Amino acid sequence: MGMTRCSSSGCSTRRTSCRRSNSQLAGGCTRRTFSLPESGESLTSVSMLHPLMELRFLFPVFLQEGSGATLELDLEHYVVPTPTAPPNEYPANLAATPASLIQTGALQTNDMLLNDGIQSPSSVSADFDGHSNHKKNTETWATDSSKKIQTSGLVESKSVGTFTPLQKPDGQKGMFIDRGVGSPKLPKSTSACSLASGLGFGSAKTMPEAAGAVAAAAVADRLHGSKEDRKLAIVLVGLPARGKTFTAVKLTRYLRWLGHETRHFNVGKYRRLKHGANLSADFFRDDNPEGIEARNEVAALAMEDMIDWMHGGGQVGIFDATNSTRKRRCMLMKMAEGNCKIIFLETICNDPSIIERNIRLKIQQSPDYADQPDYEAGLQDFMERLMNYEKVYEPVGEGSYIKMIDMVKGQGGQLQVNNISGYLPGRIVFFLVNSHLTPRPILLTRHGESLHNVRGRVGGDTVLSEAGELYAKKLANFIEKRLKSEKTATIWTSTLQRTILTASPILGFPKIQWRALDEINSGVCDGMTYEEIKKTMPEEFESRRKDKLRYRYPRGESYLDVIQRLEPVIIELERQRAPVVVISHQAVLRALYAYFADRPLREVPDIEMPLHTIIEIQMGVTGVEEKRYKLMD
């Protein structure tokens, strides 16, 4: 196999073949291709003189990490540790700690139960609300929650008050869709939360501040609605293995991200703490009066805890149980009278393959079967338990309700709504109708390094630095390898040129620009360094340092404002069934990542979001998983 030299101007590389286009003749050879081994030769038998074996000597610049645009064939080479991975455990374990069982001394403290994601009684006293930075209500827990004096502590709603229909990407490359919230140079407006406090709601907490128009609907609900309507209980209904807990977890995460004080109460968790985790199917029989009484007891305890939590300032409780009979639901409605408004959320699934998958996950992950090594024995027990529930199951037909019928796949299902009104219930319906559990990856990455990054300046609309241009090429290479089998993936960018330039080398996928993905608007501070801000506007610098979450740049935005304008992005990410690559900015990606990782709002401004790193979020029936790739420093 003879070697030849390329005759292109400026190219002295030895190789077996060099194909040149007209554009290459002007600037030298830019593509080097090698012939395959002769017939009968294998890669293992080819001489080291063969060009396939001399790649590392011929083109070291492409193979040294960080020095070229080509990546290693194995993308796992670029995986780096995740600083704060989302919790990877059985979803029911992430529900609220059963405070009543701890306070009444009914908690069984054997190791098996404490490994159920629950703290021991001695370690729980400080933080009843794991997702709140506020002090818990310290008054004594009462058995009859309806007789307790209700304390003030309303949580101000800050959801986006818009039901603008979402446009489905039509595959057009370079398409621009203005999904923003107005001019990036809007004057600073008074927040509706300030208005709410002036109206004398008597809130004992410092509420997240949202843009005035955003919170107007929520304020109106509080002004004109009844007292009990200010607190909302979403009561799950459905047979086992129908996706109730996964739906509860997703809804809890969404409402928390919007700023609503939301807590997930899982009755199964109460049952395991009260009666143990090794109960047989006989415990769930409809002709077992002791079992029925025990199950109603733990349901009542969970409901009382939820109402008690609402009296202390909680806004939305997600009550997760089968609640499969009218008698049980009537008990809950009676307990809720004068305390909160109940909306039943029934999950119905008729797809045998999905039910079978859910049953398998249940047996493999549920603490109920943690001590059962025999899968078949666990399966037989669960099927008997399921039959016991099916005998007495009564579909929801009373009160306010939402029925999700075969909605798991995100297509072909139905969402039935009855007697639903109000701002927050409307947001919940809008979220549910757009969410599903189809597995797919979402890739989050900042743009390549920009000239403002190099100079330490905030905002702006500068081009990429040399390092940023190199990252754009590496990113395109990564996307080509990672999504090579995904023909329906899309690339989302902001409208700022540093994200558009980062996406430009990516070929073969539609690209959509979102104004909602633009970086946080730094207002009059745009283009300044933090040292310049500190010197010329020391009061603004100090205000930002004290509270980055709520601080709003003069004529600009706060992190909470960014979260508000990102709600349509979250809804569309939930609705998408194919992979999505989001190329955006630090503040925006912090807010998006906080949603998927279920991070408290107060942590959003400090979430690590480095340059030239890809965060892969895997969404599916098992929850949210994360992996990070660092392509270059």
Tell me how far apart the 2 most distant CA atoms of the chain are, in Å. 94
Q: Are residues 382 and 312 in the same domain?
A: yes
Q: Are residues 334 and 445 in the same domain?
A: no
Report d(CA 138, CA 11) in Å as an integer: 78
Q: Look at residue 219 and tell me if it is in a domain.
A: no
pLDDT of residue 227: 56
- Establish whether 320 is a catalytic residue: yes
CATH number assigned to the domain comprising residue 381: 3.40.50.300
Q: Look at residue 168 and tell me if it is in a domain.
A: no
Q: Look at residue 546 and tell me if it is in a domain.
A: yes
**Up-side HSE of residue 593: CA atoms within 13 Å toward CB?**
31
Q: Amino acid identity of 283?
A: F
Number of domains in the chain: 3
Q: Look at residue 567 and tell me if it is in a domain.
A: yes
Q: Are 541 and 529 in contact (CB under 8 A)?
A: no
Q: DSSP 3-state helix, strand, coil percentages of the chain (rounded to 5)?
A: 40, 15, 45
Report d(CA 433, CA 1) in Å as an integer: 63
Q: Are residues 483 and 405 in the same domain?
A: no
Q: Are residues 246 and 355 in the same domain?
A: yes
Q: Which of 320, 346, 368, 616 is catalytic?
A: 320
Q: Are residues 334 and 473 in the same domain?
A: no
Asked if residue 448 belongs to a known ligand binding site, the reply is: yes
- Establish whether 18 is a catalytic residue: no
Q: Are residues 422 and 525 in the same domain?
A: no
Asked if residue 5 belongs to a known ligand binding site, the reply is: no
Give the SS3 label for residue 483: coil
Give the SS3 label for residue 470: helix
Q: Look at residue 64 and tell me if it is in a domain.
A: no
Q: What is the CA radius of gyration of the chain?
A: 28
Q: Are residues 409 and 448 in the same domain?
A: no
- Establish whether 349 is a catalytic residue: yes
Q: What is the distance, to the nearest Å, from the Cα of residue 297 to the centroid of all Cα atoms in its chain? A: 34
Asked if residue 174 belongs to a known ligand binding site, the reply is: no
pLDDT of residue 98: 80
- Establish whether 519 is a catalytic residue: yes
pLDDT of residue 612: 97
Report d(CA 475, CA 240) in Å as an integer: 43
Q: Which of 511, 566, 459, 450 is nearest to 160 (CA)?
A: 566
Q: Write down the pTM of the prediction.
A: 0.72
Neighbours of 579 (CB within 10 A): 19
Report d(CA 2, CA 16) in Å as an integer: 7
Q: Which of 585, 370, 403 is nearest to 499 (CA)?
A: 585
Report d(CA 209, CA 378) in Å as an integer: 49
Asked if residue 453 belongs to a known ligand binding site, the reply is: yes
**Up-side HSE of residue 379: CA atoms within 13 Å toward CB?**
10
- Token pair of 397, please? 């037909």
Report d(CA 24, CA 9) in Å as an integer: 9
Q: Are residues 270 and 306 in the same domain?
A: yes
Q: Which of 18, 29, 193, 349 is catalytic?
A: 349
Q: Which of 304, 368, 381, 519 is catalytic?
A: 519
Counting as low any pLDDT under 70, the low residues of the chain are 1-68, 72-73, 84-94, 102-229, 410-411, 621-622
Give the residue from 437, 453, 479 where a domain finishes: 437
116: CB partners within 8 A, 6+ apart: 93, 269, 272, 273, 277, 367
CATH number assigned to the domain comprising residue 481: 3.40.50.1240
Give the residue from 387, 413, 437 where a domain finishes: 437
Q: Look at residue 291 and tell me if it is in a domain.
A: yes
Q: Are residues 271 and 302 in the same domain?
A: yes
Q: Where are the beta strands (DSSP E) in 495-591?
A: 511-514, 580-584
Q: Which of 131, 260, 436, 447 is catalytic?
A: 447
Q: What is the distance, to the nearest Å, from the Cα of residue 129 to the centroid of all Cα atoms in its chain? A: 20
Q: What CA dihedral angle connects 83, 88, 89 and 91, to 10 degrees?
A: 110
Asked if residue 312 belongs to a known ligand binding site, the reply is: no
133: CB partners within 8 A, 6+ apart: 600, 602
Q: Look at residue 383 and tell me if it is in a domain.
A: yes
Give the residue from 437, 458, 476 where a domain finishes: 437
Boundaries of domain holding 93: 89-121+227-437
- Token pair of 360, please? 């398998």
Q: Are residues 469 and 386 in the same domain?
A: no
Instruction: Identify any residues that bridge with 403 across adjacent strands, giving them in sequence order.
Output: 346, 416
Q: Look at residue 349 and tell me if it is in a domain.
A: yes
Q: Are residues 323 and 426 in the same domain?
A: yes
Q: Are residues 311 and 421 in the same domain?
A: yes
Nearest 5°: CA angle at 516, between 514 and 517?
Answer: 70
Report d(CA 287, CA 316) in Å as an integer: 34
The residue behind tokens 């020095």 is 67
Asked if residue 451 belongs to a known ligand binding site, the reply is: yes
pLDDT of residue 437: 81
Report d(CA 157, CA 209) in Å as an integer: 9
Burial degree of 585 (CB within 10 A; 0-12, 13-18, 19+): buried
